[in-house]
Chains A and B, each alone.
Chain A
Amino acid sequence: MRAPRLRLPLVLLALLATGLAVFTGLRLAGEDRRRVEAEWRRLSQAPLEGHARGVGALLTDRVAPLLALTDDLPNTPDELRARLRKGVWFRHALVADAEGRIVFPPAAARSAAETEFLERSRPAWSRGLTAEAPPDADATAAADAPARSWQWRTWYWGPGLHLGFLRALPDGRRVLVELDRSRLLADVMERLPADAAEEPASRLVDEAGRDLYVWGAPESAPAAESLDVPLPAPLSNWHLRRASTPPADAGARLGLWAGIAAALAAFFGGLLFIHRESARTVREAMQRVTFVNQVSHELKTPLTNIRMYAEMLDEELDLSPDDPARRHLGVVIAESQRLSRLIANILTFARSQRQHLTLNRTPTVPDALVRQVVEGFAPALQARGIEVSLDLQAPSPRALDPDAVGQILGNLIGNVEKYASAGRWLGVSARVEDDRVMLRVSDRGPGIPAGARERVFAPFERLDDRLTEGVSGTGIGLTIARELARLHGGDVCLLPTEVGACFEVTLTGAAA
């Protein structure tokens, strides 16, 4: 019956393990979710990045014609105007001389549109058209070609961002070609998808977060936009945005719940296993007891006969104490007595298991009973060199079951013989307090660890192998002793002692 007592710590252990598993599962699931989210973000951001590159390519494609336009700048304003007039995505340009003075469009004769252009592009040239890199210059490209003679320049006017192409000519002149803003927008849109169902709802927003272009499946409900990809420089203030609801969310949560479910399943599985294991242990012990019980019944009668005839022989032969024959006979008697106790214990335990244990109280003198039991042990105790000290102060008869009390004492003294022979001392005392009889069995053996004080009374419980090595026993002696004492309205307790062990038996037995 050890399993039920182990169940609580095991349950606690399983709970702890489950808790740990759930905690770790949560941690792992969180980690996993973050990883999946990052991966998902990377994957779902990829199309947007592709679009952004497409827009970037648009501007890259613009460079060659702009270089061609500015390479051999026409000499007269009219020729330059004629060339600008042919431009589809640019319309206006200004030329500054090496000193930074605007020489085109000429101050002497400007069209209204040219004046307007100079006005709106003022932020781009008012602080000079010198070569210092604007903050939004394409840093990578600049590093690749440090001697590059051109750069993009952005400025804000009216509806928003304007883009210009700034070229430094070998003669020191500088040309700023304005890219038509509306046309730039239209061209950017052309690089972005049109058809609705192909992509999730996406948008191109300007520097102020206003929608410039919207594409993709119509939004059913406005979601938080977590994907944000800026266009390549110089349009890096324009962003492609898209809502992202990671499918990983559901996945990770599912994983988490699956983890917890698995942990719980493991926990209950563990409990079930422990329960079945302990049930099996108990069942096996019961089967063993039942078997031994039946065998014991069969053994009891022949053993009683052996014992009786051996004792008769001892009395009839009347041998001298030194006679080897007498010594041999003593061994036969002691061993048959031990076997009797063993069988009595087994049968008593079996009865106690079936709740069939009853007492048969008769007037019994405790002192006499103690002497009789110790007498029975004398040959065995002598053989192990154990000195016996009796302190008997219960000479009057009491209503006790002598067989039961004898069995209690026999089990206790038998334990001393088996486990505490190293102390070479056995003390047995008896006294009376009101209607209670107190019996004590003490030894000076190795004692019983504090943690095992109660455990020793459990059935089939034996202290560690060190103590029990080479010792036989069923492991039910103390259980039966306590059972029988409790039937007497008393108990068997282990008293704290400095050395060895001291069992006190309390019995309720009125004076008879």
Chain B
Amino acid sequence: MKTRLALLTALAALSTLLLAAAPTAAFGPLATVPEGPPLSLETRVSTPLAPAGQTSTAYVKVQLTGRALEMAARPPVNVALVIDKSGSMQGVKMDRAKEAAIQAISKLSPQDIVSIVTYDTTVSVLAPATKASDKATLFDAVRRIHAGGDTALFAGVSKGAAEVRKFLERGRVNRVLLLSDGLANVGPSTPADLGALGASLVREGISVTTFGLGLGYNEDLMTELARQSDGNHAFIEDAANLSQFFDLELGTAAAVVAQDVQLRLDCGDGVRPVRVLGRPADIIGRSVTTSMNQIYARQTQHLLLEVELSPGAPNERRTLATVSATYGNLGSRVSESLSGDVAVTFTSDRMAVERATDQGVMISAVEHIANERNALAVSMRDRGDVQQARQLLQQNAAWLDDNHTRYKAPSLERLKNDNEEDAQNLEGENWNRQRKTMRKKQLKLELQQMY
């Protein structure tokens, strides 16, 4: 991330706009006077100089960066720990999960809200949503968990979300933390079912972070639930590491600076939005919208849009898009907005086009394209085309290597290495683990997750 930031500063973008906006609508009691906007908006284009007289493609990158947060200012969290206690959790996994949950709870402050939900075939609300002040009771509830039964994952998440909903409030970080080691087999259990549930929850401001434990869980389902709800996802092969991930998640959650981020791009004349790379977004006509449930301190979230430019005359300046973002300021609990725009100038000088290329945007584009190919390789492998999948991954690695040579970006080199490793583990007992790793990395890159 640091390297990327360094690159960004090195390549001064054409049109950078940062507008700290005025508060528009209150969405909660005014608590503290904001010290400054928690988010900064930056818009860049891959080719600030576009080739004149021809149809061309450009990438628009809109970045939102969270301001660093003082420790004292951390927002309260409202979290439901949803723990799989199906038969497969029996033994060490259950013990570690309990330890991790107890440790996580012990780190909560009294103004935080926590609930504990377990599920197997049925769902139990062990501790309804409550302030994390009486920790002994919560610890007792966790210690009473005994593994056994099937996996009603959908119901577990639903009930966990219902507990979060009891104290649902903008200004809190509302989150369901799902831990599962198995395949959902009671109730709705397809990735689409769970994804749709996540998409609905995030519209209320509830994200679902999913922890896949061991090698038996359904990574498609767990990543889709996290993706649609803008939560995090982790593949935790060894239960001994659970505690560390609980810490990571709660630490991250406590670092949210902005919530309910709505980002909108309206493309200008002669600009056709083709696709959004990475995160889910809606393209309707010439407008593009996406939303993020939260942005963390020091996190940069971006939207990468591929556009098609109709031929332009030399020296013509064309606005590619106007950008607007609205979000909830967690510190001040006020709804704020940011806006900016991005433009290109057409030129007949091909060399100038090449020289002016924004490498940071291009690197992002390469990352996302490589990521999509990586996901495509998984689908091929799922169909049984091992050979074809391997070939695609190797091509992807070679392509990344080319781009690394060109842009000198360490992130591309890492991606190249990942793809080579993926290509070598498409068969045998390695494949299950590798698939989980691939899904995890794909999601992390797609949503620019913190871990």
The answer to whether A214 and B282 touch across the interface, beta carbons within 8 angstroms, is no
CA distance A180 to B155 in the complex (A): 16
Q: Which among B193, B284, B286, B291 is the interface contact of A182 at CB below 8 angstroms? A: B193
CA distance A214 to B158 in the complex (A): 13
Q: Which among B125, B155, B262, B282 is the interface contact of A112 at CB below 8 angstroms? A: B282
B200 within 8 A of A: yes
Contact residues in B for A110 (Cβ distance below 8 Å): 284
Chain B 169-199 interface mask (CB, 8 Å, partner A; 1/0): 0000000000000000011101011101101
The smallest beta-carbon distance between A181 and chain B, in angstroms, is 7
CA distance A158 to B187 in the complex (A): 15
The answer to whether B188 and A212 touch across the interface, beta carbons within 8 angstroms, is yes
The answer to whether B285 and A109 touch across the interface, beta carbons within 8 angstroms, is yes
The smallest beta-carbon distance between B91 and chain A, in angstroms, is 20
Contact residues in A for B125 (Cβ distance below 8 Å): 194-195
A185 within 8 A of B: yes
Chain A 215-255 interface mask (CB, 8 Å, partner B; 1/0): 11010000000000000000000000000000000000000
The answer to whether A159 and B124 touch across the interface, beta carbons within 8 angstroms, is no
Please provide the chain B residues from 210 to 264 with a CB less than 8 Å away from any CB of chain A in the complex.
262
Contact residues in A for B200 (Cβ distance below 8 Å): 88-89, 91, 180, 182-183, 186
Q: Which among B123, B161, B204 is the interface contact of A194 at CB below 8 angstroms? A: B123
A21 within 8 A of B: no
A213 within 8 A of B: yes
- Name which of B121, B152, B200, B204 has the most chain A CB atoms within 10 A of its CB: B200
A338 within 8 A of B: no
B283 within 8 A of A: yes
The answer to whether A218 and B285 touch across the interface, beta carbons within 8 angstroms, is no
B122 within 8 A of A: yes
Chain B 140-178 interface mask (CB, 8 Å, partner A; 1/0): 000000000100101101110110000000000000000
Closest B residue to A86 by CB, please name it: B203
Contact residues in A for B161 (Cβ distance below 8 Å): 186
The answer to whether A190 and B284 touch across the interface, beta carbons within 8 angstroms, is no
The answer to whether B203 and A190 touch across the interface, beta carbons within 8 angstroms, is no
The answer to whether B159 and A190 touch across the interface, beta carbons within 8 angstroms, is yes
Chain A 184-221 interface mask (CB, 8 Å, partner B; 1/0): 01110110001110000000000000011111101000
The smallest beta-carbon distance between B211 and chain A, in angstroms, is 20
The answer to whether A183 and B159 touch across the interface, beta carbons within 8 angstroms, is no
CA distance A469 to B204 in the complex (A): 107
The smallest beta-carbon distance between B372 and chain A, in angstroms, is 15
A126 within 8 A of B: no
The answer to whether A185 and B186 touch across the interface, beta carbons within 8 angstroms, is no
CA distance A214 to B192 in the complex (A): 21
Closest A residue to B287 by CB, please name it: A78
Chain B 417-431 interface mask (CB, 8 Å, partner A; 1/0): 000000000000000
The smallest beta-carbon distance between B329 and chain A, in angstroms, is 19
Q: Which among A86, A89, A180, A218 is the interface contact of B121 at CB below 8 angstroms? A: A218
The answer to whether B204 and A218 touch across the interface, beta carbons within 8 angstroms, is no
Q: Which among B158, B192, B203, B291 is the interface contact of A185 at CB below 8 angstroms? A: B158
CA distance A38 to B123 in the complex (A): 31
Given the contacts A89-B200, A183-B197, A194 and B284 also touching, CB distance less than 8 Å: no
The smallest beta-carbon distance between A187 and chain B, in angstroms, is 8
Closest B residue to A111 by CB, please name it: B282
Contact residues in A for B291 (Cβ distance below 8 Å): 85
Given the contacts A88-B204, A211-B186, A186 and B158 also touching, CB distance less than 8 Å: yes
A312 within 8 A of B: no
Please provide the chain A residues from 103 to 143 with a CB less than 8 Å away from any CB of chain B in the complex.
105, 108-114
Given the contacts A189-B158, A218-B149, A196 and B122 also touching, CB distance less than 8 Å: yes
CA distance A357 to B22 in the complex (A): 139
CA distance A490 to B74 in the complex (A): 127
The smallest beta-carbon distance between A348 and chain B, in angstroms, is 92
Closest A residue to B262 by CB, please name it: A85
CA distance A218 to B186 in the complex (A): 13
CA distance A12 to B199 in the complex (A): 81
A81 within 8 A of B: yes
CA distance A34 to B193 in the complex (A): 43
The 7 nearest A-B residue pairs measured at CB = A109-B285, A182-B196, A186-B158, A183-B200, A111-B282, A182-B197, A190-B162
Beyond A182-B197, A214-B152: 18 further Cβ-contacts under 8 Å? A81-B284, A87-B203, A89-B200, A109-B285, A109-B286, A112-B282, A182-B194, A185-B193, A186-B161, A186-B197, A189-B123, A194-B122, A194-B123, A194-B159, A212-B187, A213-B187, A215-B122, A218-B122
